[in-house]
């Protein structure tokens, strides 16, 4: 891996004709009138972090409790599980408050989201795990935070943990006592806080940091938009019929998920229209290549190519291009395959329509797409220690050499 320096990053920006490699959002203007609070204030989410969880994480790092907590977490995976023994008292107290749904959570909408995700699972999986997974590598702050944290040194495991979060959210039992998502979200929130505490001690990470510490509320929302808002747009682009009730259920599941991740209510969009407004201000203006992101993308694509045996590298690259667009794919230096591109452009929408019962036409690429979806899914599921779970554990250090 070539040396990751500010000078190298700037050289990539110069070659691509970018004004700045370290893009930052413009002055924040989105009003909380569009949030679930319905108030009318303007607060910059990129200046808001998660103080309660951060304090817990700092204490865990200071007293060396991370290994004991990870061991205790082995048995704590389902929403209905009692909090495990073997954890420090301050962590148990914190989780006693955090590991619950907000009072405004709507059980009917959450149940509807489970049915919706069961119907849409394959397409959401492609959009979110592959499309959004690679898209994340051109979000500078996210790419750098992932690369220099411990997870960046083992991207197969890191990606599997991210997949666990999405898989659990989209499970038919996500919000039920037998489901996993509430626990997965609380573990993920604490992972963010531990990483937030650790990365500020990394000289290499801080060399290009443009925040006092990473993973702000704004950064979590950027990830939300790169996953959920992008998937919402893809369903429309692909011609999938989604009812207004299903859209509402999908949004509500994400609203509760953002709450569980520690995002303040004043920033959680109250509608998909408001989510689009947020994305227009906080996501699309900041995407750009970084050497960290290019390295992560190459690693992830290598895993995917190995998992989808029988499919050409060109097919995989063009599927990524179809999902994230040529501009971002060019930043990541993905080679072209015009034959695969022609097939995907025509056959993927037909494949989705056929699978959704919207078209009797069997697409030419039916087997290819089935193989692709199955291969990528098994890449992550095979990394799990149970049928649906890759353990979400707390790191105790940054990436070696950070």
Q: Tell me, yes or no, whether 68 and 109 share the same domain.
A: yes
Q: What is the dihedral of CA 364, 368, 373, 379, to 10 degrees?
A: 180
> In the predicted model, is pLDDT for residue 30 greater than 80?
yes
The mean pLDDT value for 65-77 works out to 95
> In the predicted model, is pLDDT for residue 123 greater than 50?
yes
Q: Tell me, yes or no, whether 62 and 203 share the same domain.
A: yes
Question: Does the residue 71 lie in any domain?
Answer: yes
The mean pLDDT value for 224-252 works out to 95
| Structure confidence at residue 124 (pLDDT) | 85
- % of the chain with per-residue pLDDT over 70: 87
Question: Does the residue 21 lie in any domain?
Answer: no
DSSP 8-class letter at 123: H
Q: Total structural domains in the chain?
A: 2
| Structure confidence at residue 153 (pLDDT) | 87
pTM: 0.90
Residue 327 domain boundaries: 304-381
Question: Does the residue 146 lie in any domain?
Answer: yes
Domain final residue pick, 249, 282, 315: 282
Q: Residue 290 corresponds to which tokens in the numbers above?
A: 């970084």
**Which helix (H) or strand (E) segment is 27 a member of?**
none
Question: Does the residue 6 lie in any domain?
Answer: no
Q: Tell me, yes or no, whether 130 and 182 share the same domain.
A: yes
Q: Tell me, yes or no, whether 126 and 261 share the same domain.
A: yes
The mean pLDDT value for 248-255 works out to 98
| Structure confidence at residue 105 (pLDDT) | 98
DSSP 8-class letter at 93: H
Distance (Å, rounded) from C-alpha 72 to C-alpha 281?
41
> In the predicted model, is pLDDT for residue 312 greater than 50?
yes
Phi (first) and psi of residue 200, to 5 degrees = -70, -15
Highest mean pLDDT: which of 189-198, 315-324, 364-373? 189-198
Contacts 24+ apart (CB under 8 A), 327-332: 328/134, 328/135, 328/138, 328/287, 331/16, 331/138, 331/288, 331/289, 331/294, 332/134, 332/137, 332/138, 332/289, 332/293, 332/294, 332/297, 332/298
Residues 6+ apart with CB under 8 A from 374: none
Question: Does the residue 376 lie in any domain?
Answer: yes
> In the predicted model, is pLDDT for residue 90 greater than 80?
yes
SS3 call for 402:
coil
Number of other residues whose CB lies within 10 A of the CB of residue 328:
22
User: 202-211, 291-300, 375-384: which has the minimum mean pLDDT?
Assistant: 375-384
Distance (Å, rounded) from C-alpha 210 to C-alpha 342?
41
Question: Does the residue 68 lie in any domain?
Answer: yes
pLDDT tens string 52-61: 999 999 999 9
- % of the chain with per-residue pLDDT over 90: 66
Number of other residues whose CB lies within 10 A of the CB of residue 243:
10
Identify whether the C-beta of residue 213 lies closer than 8 Å to the C-beta of residue 122: no
Q: Tell me, yes or no, whether 103 and 229 share the same domain.
A: yes
Q: Tell me, yes or no, whether 52 and 195 share the same domain.
A: yes
Rg (CA), the chain: 20
Question: Does the residue 12 lie in any domain?
Answer: no
Q: Tell me, yes or no, whether 135 and 199 share the same domain.
A: yes
Distance (Å, rounded) from C-alpha 35 to C-alpha 274?
8
Distance (Å, rounded) from C-alpha 164 to C-alpha 157?
10
**Mean pLDDT in the chain?**
87
Q: Tokens 């995002």 appear where?
A: 263
DSSP 8-class letter at 62: H
Q: Tell me, yes or no, whether 211 and 339 share the same domain.
A: no
Q: Tokens 């806080």 appear where?
A: 193
Residue 377: which pLDDT band, with cuts at 50, 70 and 90?
A: low
Q: Tell me, yes or no, whether 70 and 197 share the same domain.
A: yes
pLDDT tens string 127-147: 987 899 999 999 999 999 999
Question: Does the residue 37 lie in any domain?
Answer: no
pLDDT tens string 16-29: 333 333 445 578 99
Identify whether the C-beta of residue 392 lies closer than 8 Å to the C-beta of residue 164: yes
> In the predicted model, is pLDDT for residue 299 greater than 80?
yes
Q: Tell me, yes or no, whether 98 and 233 share the same domain.
A: yes
> In the predicted model, is pLDDT for residue 212 greater than 90?
yes
Q: Tell me, yes or no, whether 168 and 315 share the same domain.
A: no
Phi (first) and psi of residue 291, to 5 degrees = -65, -35
| Structure confidence at residue 4 (pLDDT) | 42
The mean pLDDT value for 229-233 works out to 97
């Amino acid at each position: 891996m070539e040396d990751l320096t500010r000078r190298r990053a700037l050289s990539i920006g110069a070659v691509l004709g970018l004004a700045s490699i370290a893009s930052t959002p413009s002055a924040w203007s989105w009003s909380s009138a569009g949030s679930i609070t319905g108030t009318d204030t303007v607060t910059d989410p990129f200046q808001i972090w998660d103080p309660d969880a951060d304090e817990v994480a700092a204490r865990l790092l200071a007293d060396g409790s991370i290994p004991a907590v990870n061991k205790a977490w082995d048995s704590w995976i389902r929403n209905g599980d009692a909090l495990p023994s073997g954890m420090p008292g301050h962590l148990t107290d914190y989780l006693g408050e955090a590991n619950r749904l907000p009072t405004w959570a709507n059980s009917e909408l959450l149940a509807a989201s489970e049915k919706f995700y069961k119907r849409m699972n394959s397409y959401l999986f492609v959009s979110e795990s592959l499309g959004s997974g690679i898209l994340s590598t051109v979000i500078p702050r996210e790419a750098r935070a992932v690369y220099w944290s411990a997870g960046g040194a083992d991207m197969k495991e890191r990606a599997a943990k991210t997949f666990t979060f999405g898989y659990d959210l989209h499970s038919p039992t996500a919000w039920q006592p037998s489901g996993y998502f509430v626990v997965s979200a609380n573990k993920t929130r604490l992972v963010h806080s531990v990483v937030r505490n650790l990365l500020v001690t990394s000289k290499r990470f801080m060399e290009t940091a443009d925040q006092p510490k990473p993973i702000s509320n704004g950064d979590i929302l950027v990830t939300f938009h790169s996953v959920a808002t992008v998937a919402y747009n893809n369903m429309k682009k692909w011609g999938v019929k989604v009812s207004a009730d299903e859209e509402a259920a999908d949004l509500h599941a994400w609203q509760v998920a953002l709450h569980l991740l520690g995002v303040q209510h004043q920033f959680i969009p109250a509608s998909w229209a408001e989510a689009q407004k947020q994305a227009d201000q906080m996501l699309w203006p900041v995407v750009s290549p970084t050497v960290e992101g290019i390295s992560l993308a190459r690693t992830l694509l290598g895993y995917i190519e190995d998992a989808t045996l029988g499919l050409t590298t060109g097919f995989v690259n063009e599927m990524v291009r179809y999902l994230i667009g040529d501009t971002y794919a060019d930043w990541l230096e993905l080679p072209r395959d015009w034959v695969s591109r022609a097939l995907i452009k025509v056959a993927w929408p037909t494949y989705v329509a056929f699978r959704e019962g919207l078209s009797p036409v069997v697409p030419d690429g039916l087997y290819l797409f089935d193989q692709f979806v199955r291969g990528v899914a098994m890449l992550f599921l095979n990394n799990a220690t149970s049928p649906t779970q890759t353990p979400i554990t707390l790191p105790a250090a940054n990436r070696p050499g950070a």
